[in-house]
Amino acid sequence: MAEKVTILDIQQKKEADHPITMLTAYDYLGGLLVDRAGIDMILVGDSLGMVMLGLESTVPVTMGEMLHHCRAVARGAQRAFLVGDMPFMSYQADPAEAIRNAGRFLKEGSMHAVKLEGGQEVTATISAIVTAGIPVMGHIGLTPQSVSKLGGYRVQGKQAGGARRLLQDALALEAAGCFSIVLEAVPAPVAAAISRRLRIPTIGIGAGPGCDGQVLVYHDLLGLFDRFTPKFVKQYAALNQTIHEAFTTFRQEVEDGTFPAPEHCYEMDETELRNFLEEIEA
């Protein structure tokens, strides 16, 4: 088995200008498959609210739900560095509560780090969590938990003032102790400039090729989630249609009697079968 990926490995990739890979996963099989592909980091994202639980946003996702999915992913992933997404209101109200909840991701969820959203307004909380010995990944730009405040799922930093605020947020998160930062839905030149200024790695999602790494949602990459597809998503497969065809064919074959066929059935010794039939028909 390959050696476990560590924060040091991630930082060294930044310094060597070697792209970092990250995907989401939400269950044992997802963790296993992503891990086998040699992906550096796995994010158990609160996006599970939409792609796994059918919710309209990430906001209703609970700590209990996150920990449940984290444990499942950890059972499947043996090599990748695992990051758990802190859900809405698990860290905003009180730093002490934030530390306790972050600790649960490591102690109960078998994660190696946590991710939380926000810029300068959450630096005190991040610093407290890091001081407690828990690695933190930041997340700025489009922050889904704050989508109502942002006025919807909009690109962030399109104007010079907004771009400056993103840089200030990124520098503040670095100073607070984050080991890396996700940049979501940020113009590519802005994300590239921020990445050059930071000593820690940036992971882009809809932020162009100038980031130190890239992350996508598992279901988006595979073409499984068809409720909407963001501009920045590349579908590497179209499994939604493949699965639909497989399920439909199964239904048709059961209905017309072609499944199960003889090759899908277990046999029985002829004498034993005859004795059994004589017994129940007597």
Catalytic positions: 184
Q: How far apart are CA 221 and CA 231, in angstroms?
A: 12
Contacts for 106-111: CB closer than 8 Å, 24+ residues apart: 106/134, 108/67, 108/70, 108/71, 109/44, 109/66, 109/67, 109/70, 109/71, 109/74, 109/84, 110/70, 110/71, 110/74, 110/75, 110/82, 111/44, 111/70, 111/74, 111/82, 111/83, 111/84
Cis peptide bond N-terminal to 135, omega within 30? no
Rg (CA), the chain: 23
Q: For residue 11, which amino acid is it?
A: Q
Alpha helices in 16-122 (DSSP H): 28-36, 48-51, 63-76, 95-107
Contact 72, 48 (CB under 8 A): no
Task: Select from 159, 108, 155, 112 the least CA-distant residue to 133.
Answer: 112
Q: How far apart are CA 220 and CA 138, in angstroms?
A: 22
Task: Return the structure tokens found at 219.
Answer: 């279901």
The phi, psi pair for 36, rounded to 5°, reads -65, -25
Placement of tokens 């499994």 in the chain: 239
CA distance to 1, 85, 225, 245, 257, per residue, from 82 (Å) = 17, 10, 23, 34, 46
